[in-house]
Amino acid sequence: MKVGKISSENSSNALSGFGLVATVMLFMFLWFGAIPASAHTFVNIDNIQIDVGWEIEPPVVGIRNDFVFKIV
């Protein structure tokens, strides 16, 4: 029975492929950036403005925050 050797060349090719994909994904993320999420918004209807959002922005998990609903 012949047992094959595990070549370090095969494993380094797999890692370089992974490194290439990770580098491309990192570059795309940095190029396009993250899309910011809006935690506060308002709507104008005729001469009425409805304001909805959070008291403290950006909202963070674990920190107590108030919900704001204002009609002006």
Token representation of residue 68: 């704001």
Residues 6+ apart with CB under 8 A from 66: 54, 55, 56
Task: Map out the domains of the chain as residue ranges.
Answer: 40-71
Claim: this prediction has a pTM higher than 0.85: no
Predicted confidence (pLDDT) per residue in 26-66, tens digit:
877 776 766 666 677 888 988 999 899 888 877 788 889 88
